[in-house]
Amino acid sequence: MLSDQDHIEGLFPEAATNWDLDRLYADLQTVSGKEIKAVEKACLRGLLCRYRPGQLAFKLAWTSGALRVELNKGLYRSLEAIADQPSNTLRWEKVPEWLENKGYKMQRQNLHSSPENSQVNFKPNSVDWGEAPNIQAFYGRTDEVAKLEQWILGDRCHLLAVCGMGGIGKTALVVKLAENIHTKFDYFIWRSLRGAQPTAQLLADLLQFLGFAHTGCSISDLLEILRQKRCLIVLDDFEATLQDGELVGAYRQGCEGYAEFLQRIGFERHQSSLILIGREQPKEISMNQGEDQLIRHYKVNGLQRQGAFELLRARGFTGSENGLEALVQQYRGNPSALRIVAGTIQELFNGNVSEFLKQTALALGDVLRTLLYQQFERLSKLEKDVLYWLAIKHRPISLSTLRSQMNLQTSGSELIDALESLRWRSLIEKLTEQGEVMFLLEPVVLKYVSRKFVEEVSKEVVVIAMQQDLKSINLLRSHTLVEDLAPDSIRAMQIRLILKPIKDKFAKAIAQNNIELDTLREKLANAQPSQVSEDSTYIDSNLALIGVWW
């Protein structure tokens, strides 16, 4: 067991990567004339890593009010002193900037090497599957995989965009393609852009993988490597770089560089290939693609009859049921839809396909939503909680992680039962990663559950603000909105897909209903620890993230 002291000292170790902490602690001690407490050091590290005070309090298991008092009387005043700032002017979000100006941020050796010194150290380990899923069951599409193989290996296509609606099987198809061809390349790298990484960040990531030891990170640097070595790059979820609600083709802020990125990879001379996967075709591709060009577009449709039947057979049908043919037609071979309806038919209609078809004549677009709604509403509280967690996590997680993060009162076996039941309903998938069993959401379900979570939490926080107390708190206690320790790309996604929409809805409700937050903030700050953060719940950090609280 870690002692409290060890726990505090172990918090936010990543601050040491960029900051000269020893010198900083020593200087703080000099100006204050006192030993710096472990709690203060931890808060300082946290602030340097851009955590909010509310999150720091949560991590330290203090109430926010108590921590504010503590920091106000000590650390904040010393920080003002070493940053040469007037007393009582500290704003916590300014701390990194102040200390950087005072030279406490370390310059990384390789960050400023001159271009002449830059070099490419080609690494022998040249395969990185990144966030690519492990596709265990893949049916049909033999001709499609062969055709794309020919395009990439035979025709040496530079840029291939694989497009189609969500859940149609784009990612699975490209995983199969890449499994077949990646050994023909010097380098293979898969990245998902669902966190809408800015172009510069992706470039830095690719160049680092390719062994490029210099930080200019320009598109020209990447092209130089694509000329020297044969690389296969896959960028999944490319639509995340495009703006919502805009005409097709406008990039999000920070992502504008993808236009040049695509154009240059498409048109310049080199020996590599880039495969994009996305719902929409970027306009750099639609304007220039053609079967006689090195830029191509492939539209993914549903599975053909044979593949669809194989999929249904794997889900308990014999293949000779009445109505199976009509079912495949109705859902146009969409593998996600078929998987989900197959579960529903088995569960609610005893496997009777005709009966199911008679009762639901839904179009494909509605089917997923309606089926998911029906399925979701029938779930137990524990099952819903599990789905929400998997949606927040946005990646496969193990039973033990799920259990520890959920702070479950229930026994492990109930959680296992819930997971089994969700799997049986085809809402989650199970896979084995390095010998460990992991769970994740079906892609279509992920979208639905994330939206539902945002909706529920938004309602909850509005009620809290209207009632000015925490009586109706529920999901904000049991689920985190953004994970402190998740990889950056996941955090970025949680912020974009979960936190931001909740904050937007909350801001709108506050404005519409003239809600005052001051009384609530006062109450929270004065609350006894047991009222706010009984055992270790996520309330403090969630309220801080939404901005109900500082």
Ligand X SMILES: Nc1ncnc2c1ncn2[C@@H]1O[C@H](COP(=O)(O)OP(=O)(O)O)[C@@H](O)[C@H]1O
For residue 494, state whether it binds ligand X (rule: CB under 6 A).
no
SS3 510: helix
Token pair, residue 308, equals 């669809």
CA 279 – CA 93 distance, rounded (Å):
37
Query: Contact at 8 Å (CB) between 141 and 169?
Result: yes
CA 313 – CA 467 distance, rounded (Å):
53
Say which residues have a Cβ less than 8 Å from residue 140's Cβ, sequence separation at least 6: 303, 304, 306, 307, 308, 310, 311
Q: Which of ligand X, Mg ion, none interacts with 214 (beta carbon under 5 to 8 A by kind)?
A: none
Q: In what order do the strands lie in the sheet with 273-278?
A: 127-128, 187-192, 231-236, 273-278, 159-163, 295-299
Q: Which of Mg ion, ligand X, none interacts with 19 (beta carbon under 5 to 8 A by kind)?
A: none
For residue 126, state whether it binds Mg ion (rule: CB under 5 A).
no
Q: What track of x and - describes contact with ligand X for positions 296 through 335 (by CB under 6 A)?
A: -------x---x---x-----------------------x
For residue 443, state whether it binds ligand X (rule: CB under 6 A).
yes
DSSP secondary structure string, 367-393?
HHHHHHHHHHHTS-HHHHHHHHHHHHH
Which residue has the CB atom at the shortest distance from Mg ion? 171
For residue 171, state whether it binds ligand X (rule: CB under 6 A).
yes
For residue 336, state whether it binds Mg ion (rule: CB under 5 A).
no
User: Hey, which residues between 162 and 201 contact Mg ion (CB under 5 A)?
Assistant: 171
DSSP state of 193: -
Nearer to Mg ion, 444 or 465 (CB): 444
For residue 187, state whether it binds ligand X (rule: CB under 6 A).
no
Nearer to ligand X, 95 or 312 (CB): 312
Among 281, 330, 336, 375, binds ligand X (CB under 6 A): 336
For residue 334, state whether it binds Mg ion (rule: CB under 5 A).
no
357 sits in which H/E element? helix 353-359
For residue 141, state whether it binds ligand X (rule: CB under 6 A).
yes
| Cα radius of gyration rounded to whole Å, the chain | 26
DSSP secondary structure string, 14-40?
THHHHB-HHHHHHHHHHHHTSPPPHHH
Among 140, 195, 266, 333, binds ligand X (CB under 6 A): 140
Choose the stretch contacting ligand X; rule: CB under 6 A; options: 64-72, 165-173, 244-252, 369-377.
165-173
Choose the stretch contacting ligand X; rule: CB under 6 A; options: 46-54, 162-170, 255-263, 397-405.
162-170
Chain residues that interact with ligand X, rule: CB under 6 A: 135, 137-141, 164, 166-172, 303, 307, 311, 335-336, 442-443
* Residues in contact with Mg ion by the rule CB under 5 A: 171
